[in-house]
Amino acid sequence: MNLTLKVWRQSNANTAGRFETYEAKDILPDMSFLEMLDVVNEGLIERSEEPIAFDSDCREGICGMCSLVINGIPHGGHRGTATCQLHMRHFTDGETITIEPWRAKAFPLLKDLVVNRSAFDRIIQSGGFVSVNTGGTPDGNAIPVPKTDSDLAMDAAACIGCGACVAACKNASAMLFVAAKVSHLNLLPQGKAEKDRRALNMVKQMDEEGFGNCTVTGSCEAVCPKEISLSFIAKLNRDYAVATIKGK
Ligand code: SF4
Ligand code: FES
């Protein structure tokens, strides 16, 4: 496949960015999107040009590092698929592909396609943990957890913290991420002791980081590579309301 790429290039947050056009030649349909970018970067390095900066780590949909807006959609618009799992066979020979970074005030740009997502780390630090000492691995069934709760907690725990939900949202809201992280722990017996404090603190930190409000457009769920359900936002709203009332 031969493709034309329009890639956002920007040296740092203080300089203006622009789209640069590159040709991606002899790309195999079974390459991942990131492997295609590796090929383009090898060509740039051979010509002594600056390679395109982009984030990646596991390249198997686990770590949440890959973060590209492809043709206007975070992760490229294939349901349940992170950028690193997106294959070039989904594109057509001769196509022009636009590649941009996540764009949100709370994710300041570092370089080219790389943004700083440490706002998510600070939200986790504000409450995304269990602070009781749970000791060693307990015997199976020592702490009974209803099957529906364990299934829901596992669904929420699938969030890889990529930030696509923020990038897709017209308000740059982080509600889907926060809802997943709060719900994952609030649903389990080990997490219930800090349930109220967790909901209040993580929402407070989310607001302080500059993420926007949720208006339930559903764009977050549509692009989420782990298909985190909007229903977790409803659950977070309930947990937050209960915690607020108890606090008063
Ligand atoms: S909710 Fe989905 S899109 Fe948002 S950070 Fe988690 S995995 Fe990424
Ligand atoms: S590189 Fe780890 S999820 Fe994509």
The string of pLDDT tens digits covering residues 221-238 is: 999 999 999 999 999 999
Which of these, 74, 33, 25, lies nearest to 56 by C-alpha position? 33
Ligand in closest contact with the CA of 221? 1
The string of pLDDT tens digits covering residues 173-183 is: 999 999 999 99
Q: Is the CB of 123 under 6 A from ligand 1?
A: no
Q: Which residues contact 160 (CB under 8 A, 6 or more apart)?
A: 61, 62, 63, 64, 82, 225, 226
The rounded mean pLDDT for the chain is 96
pLDDT bucket at 248, cuts 50 / 70 / 90: low
Mean pLDDT confidence for 29-57: 98
Mean pLDDT confidence for 73-100: 97
This model's pTM is above 0.75: yes
CA distances in angstroms from 26 to 22, 30, 97, 167, listed in the order given: 13, 12, 15, 31
What pLDDT does 135 receive?
A: 78
State the distance from the centre of ligand 2 to the C-alpha of 133, rounded, in angstroms: 31
Mutate to test the pocket of ligand 1, among 78, 79, 226 (most ligand atoms within 8 A of CB): 226
- Identify which has the larger pLDDT, 142 or 40: 40
The string of pLDDT tens digits covering residues 148-181 is: 999 999 999 999 999 999 999 999 999 999 999 9
Mutate to test the pocket of ligand 2, among 56, 75, 223 (most ligand atoms within 8 A of CB): 56
State the distance from the centre of ligand 2 to the C-alpha of 62, rounded, in angstroms: 6
Mean pLDDT confidence for 200-221: 97
Q: Which ligand 1 atom sits closest to the C-alpha of 160?
A: 7
Q: Burial level of 237, CB count in 10 A (0-12/13-18/19+)?
A: middle
Q: Is the CB of 33 under 6 A from ligand 1?
A: no
Q: Atom 1, ligand 1: which residue's CA is nearest?
A: 177
Ligand in closest contact with the CA of 82? 2
pLDDT bucket at 137, cuts 50 / 70 / 90: confident
Q: Which ligand 2 atom sits closest to the C-alpha of 62?
A: 3
State the distance from the centre of ligand 1 to the C-alpha of 140, rounded, in angstroms: 30
State the distance from the centre of ligand 2 to the C-alpha of 64, rounded, in angstroms: 5
The string of pLDDT tens digits covering residues 98-117 is: 999 999 999 999 999 999 99
| 8 Å CB contact between 101 and 163 | no
